[in-house]
Amino acid sequence: MERIKSWIADRLDERPWWMNLLMAFSAFMAVVYMPWDMFVKPMAVDEEVWFGFILHGPWAKATEPLHWAIYALGAYGFWRMSPWMWPWAAVYALQVAIGMVVWPIVYLEGGTGLVLGLAATVPFGAIALALWNAGDLFDADNRPSLRDRYGSWALVTGASAGIGAEFARRLAADGVSCVLVARRREKLEELAAELVRHHGVETRVVEADLSTTTGPELVADAVSDLEIAILVNNAGVGYVGRFDGQDTGRLREMVQLNCTAPVVLTSRLLPAMVERRRGAVIVVASVAGRQPLPLHAVYSATKAFDLLFGEALWVELGESGVDVISLQPGPVATEFEAVAGEQRGDAGIEQSAEAVVQSCFESLGRQPSVPTSWVNWVRANANRAVPRSVMALLAGLAMEAQTPEDKR
């Protein structure tokens, strides 16, 4: 219980007291009042106010979902201190302040309406001004650099392309020197030269195959002279098709790469972070780990392992000074699909590798795991509303469209 209290206190300390009150008010409106307003209050007596003008009955009901969305986004945005909250939180508060002037002037007679309107607008105008002036609090770039927060060296697995390469670029931009790990030395050396040229950091290239039993130990031994402050367990691979038609050796290598390698590397590098009382462990899981994924059965199981592994470490290390996060990306514009043998599926909703990495560093130190987009959040939480059997069947239909016919 003390750990939970400490975590809540730390999260509340991220914003001033008055902003915590706005967050609590937004959460109350989104969770309690607006659902009651939409689904319980009789339409005949329903009213909504926009810009000081009152809407009645069906017009009020029609606009209530928008009000609910505003308060839900407000609660979420304050909790995450999301950059998009500025300037929109201030703009919405200004709209309320204007409405507080308009409403009594329109609906009350004489000078009383004007006096009450001006008096009522003062506190809401003050809130709008405070939110406008709090822009720096919502700016992720104003947080201390990754080097200042955690230390001077990071190790990134799967760094030769895609998400891993973007992690290395983002770390180097913050002054963190990088150990780059993958099988393709030529690609790693090209990236290392880029990081040195653009950011002036140190680099070290470690060519290793983490899908072997010796690979993770080789990597840990290769950096034993460095203080690794940030570990990015990014290397991973998929393998699409019916399980009974897949190669046993390739399945074994996937489990080794996706599950065993992060465990071994974290086990070897984490104790020094705990001793220094600062560091970060990033586990690249997947939204695929939130439900069974037919035709990608072992892959989704390995990503469920990664997700739960990272979330459990987040609790264990809560008082250690070491931050842990599990990422849950969905389709990303990388070479993953080609290597896994998939047909191109969700091109319309693919994220860039840069967006995935940005989402990670916005959330690192604030929460145990994060779906890296709104679409991925919906996917990740759909199984809360749908029976698991139905979810598995729906996932199977989706995967059929991405699986070559000869592998179904």
Active site residue 303: yes
Q: Where are the alpha helices (DSSP H) in 81-214?
A: 85-107, 110-133, 146-150, 162-173, 185-199
The catalytic residue among 92, 150, 239, 303 is: 303
Q: Are 366 and 318 in contact (CB under 8 A)?
A: no
Which of 184, 265, 195 lies closest to 232 in space, CA to CA? 265
The catalytic residue among 92, 150, 239, 299 is: 299
Q: Are 210 and 261 in contact (CB under 8 A)?
A: yes
CA 348 – CA 179 distance, rounded (Å):
33
| Cβ-count burial 67-81 (b if 16+ within 10 Å, e if not) | bbebbbbbbbbbbbb
Q: Are 359 and 374 in contact (CB under 8 A)?
A: no
CA 348 – CA 354 distance, rounded (Å):
17
**DSSP per residue over 253-317, as a string?**
HHHIIIIIHHHHHHHHHHHHHHHHT-EEEEEE--GGGGS--TTSHHHHHHHHHHHHHHHHHHHHT
Active site residue 107: no
**Residues carrying an active site annotation:** 299, 303
